[in-house]
Amino acid sequence: MTSATAGRTALICGTVGALLCLVAAPPVRAKAKKMLPGEEARLAFAPEVPPPITRRKPAIVRVTLDSSVKTTEINTGVTYTYWTFNGRVPGPFIRAREGDALEVHVTNSDQSGMPHNVDFHAVTGPGGGATVTTVTQGEERVAWFALLHPGLYVYHCAAPPVMDHIANGMYGLILVEPKRGLPKVDREFYVLQSEFYTKELSEGVTQLEFSHEHGVQEHPRFVVFNGQVGSLTGDGALKAKTGERVRIYFGNAGPNLISSFHVIGEIFDLVYREADLVSPPARSIQTTLVPAGGATVVEFDVEVPGTYTLVDHAIFRVEKGAVGYLQVEGEPRHDIYVSQDDPVGCPGCMVHP
């Protein structure tokens, strides 16, 4: 057995509850009494979230992350060439369970020739997996990682220069559910904040170019939810009904800014601060800090119908795109919210549409 094979065998057999051994070398496999089951990872693209995991035993969870570039609108009438996982920014939301082994297949369809890889903040080991997943166009690498800690984690590309790969869109979230699962809610949403750094537009040009210099200066043109301005407005607004309980899985890919995540008109009933799914959650929170490369999970009941506004409460960032809506339908609740006069909108203010 080579050292690599022995190590891989040790990982799959040893850290995942000693159940056993999908890729074990023959002598080990022969001793296996029970094979750890394998399954495809549950994936969804923002703002969707894959359904909860109902099994109560560990599994090997397979996921393929393919890197490619894609040019699409970042703001109305303005395009940007994103670097992506699976063709989208943010990349897919991956749902797994504490004790699972993540089997990741990393591929590269990027015709520019750039190498890419994946650093999972959910992974214990050098580079969060980046050091063993670097691929160039046409290559595939496979690695297995034990998911030892429950939580909501950022993943991102960490190929050099790492800041450019993050700044151009190579990130997403992976949820590692606690072994007992999470409490049932009515709606779950995937929202990821990030910023984009671009050069000035020349006259007559509608394609924005990346600016490493503005990244160094921490001077973003856009601060957005789910990859582009307006992703959670208009037809993209989140929807719920009165009486429902909402959970938002909120990540911050940065690459520079800290988010002061707030929903205007709501108070978070629960905040799993910094996406800590082990400790008791905080209660009755107005705004929660989410560091670059970090995440949070918030829950709240929606009692009163109307439009609620997701913002980074560093409020000038609303003008850079950090705004989205949750539209709640239902009967009025005059026992909670009532006025002598009708509400007055403020067209153009963005926070009270």
Complex with Cu ion: residue 165 or 247, whichever CB lies closer: 165
Per the listing, tokens 């000035």 go with: 200
Distances (CA, A) of 94 to 153, 202, 274: 10, 39, 18
Q: Which stretch binds Cu ion (CB under 5 A): 113-121, 133-141, 231-239, 323-331?
A: 113-121
Amino acid at 242: T
Q: What's the min distance (Å) between Cβ of 167 and Cu ion? A: 11
Q: What's the min distance (Å) between Cβ of 91 and Cu ion? A: 11
Task: Find the Cα–Cα–Cα–Cα dihedral 182, 86, 101, 147, rounded to 10°.
Answer: -50
- 306-345 footprint of Cu ion as x/- string (CB under 5 A): ----------------------------------------
Complex with Cu ion: residue 152 or 157, whichever CB lies closer: 157
Complex with Cu ion: residue 159 or 270, whichever CB lies closer: 159
C-alpha–C-alpha distance, residues 146 and 98, integer Å = 9
Q: Which residue is nearest to Cu ion (CB)?
A: 157
Tokens of 264: 């205007």
Reduce the DSSP state of residue 263 to 3 states and report it: strand
C-alpha–C-alpha distance, residues 344 and 147, integer Å = 50
Residues numbered 177-236 forming contacts with Cu ion, rule: CB under 5 A: none
Q: What share of the chain is helix, strand, coil (3-state, %, to 5)?
A: 15, 40, 45
Count H helices, E strands: the chain?
4, 22
Q: What's the min distance (Å) between Cβ of 199 and Cu ion? A: 20
Cβ partners under 8 Å of residue 53, min gap 6: 42, 95, 96, 97, 177, 181
Exposed/middle/buried for residue 13 (C-beta within 10 Å: 0-12, 13-18, 19+): buried
Complex with Cu ion: residue 133 or 252, whichever CB lies closer: 133
Q: Binding Cu ion by CB under 5 A: which of 42, 116, 214, 262?
A: 116
Contact present, 133 and 106 (Cβ < 8 Å): yes
With CB under 5 A as the rule, give the number of residues binding Cu ion.
5
- 57-96 footprint of Cu ion as x/- string (CB under 5 A): ----------------------------------------
Q: Which stretch binds Cu ion (CB under 5 A): 12-20, 116-124, 216-224, 337-345?
A: 116-124
Q: What's the min distance (Å) between Cβ of 81 and Cu ion? A: 13
Q: What's the min distance (Å) between Cβ of 158 and Cu ion? A: 8
- 147-176 footprint of Cu ion as x/- string (CB under 5 A): ----------x-x-----x----x------
Complex with Cu ion: residue 13 or 157, whichever CB lies closer: 157
Q: What's the min distance (Å) between Cβ of 165 and Cu ion? A: 4
Q: What's the min distance (Å) between Cβ of 299 and Cu ion? A: 33
Q: Pairing mode, if any, of strands 282-285 and 245-254?
A: unpaired
Q: Supply the DSSP symbol for 180.
A: T
Strand (E) or helix (H) holding 264: strand 259-264
Q: Could you list the residues that contact Cu ion (CB under 5 A)?
A: 116, 157, 159, 165, 170
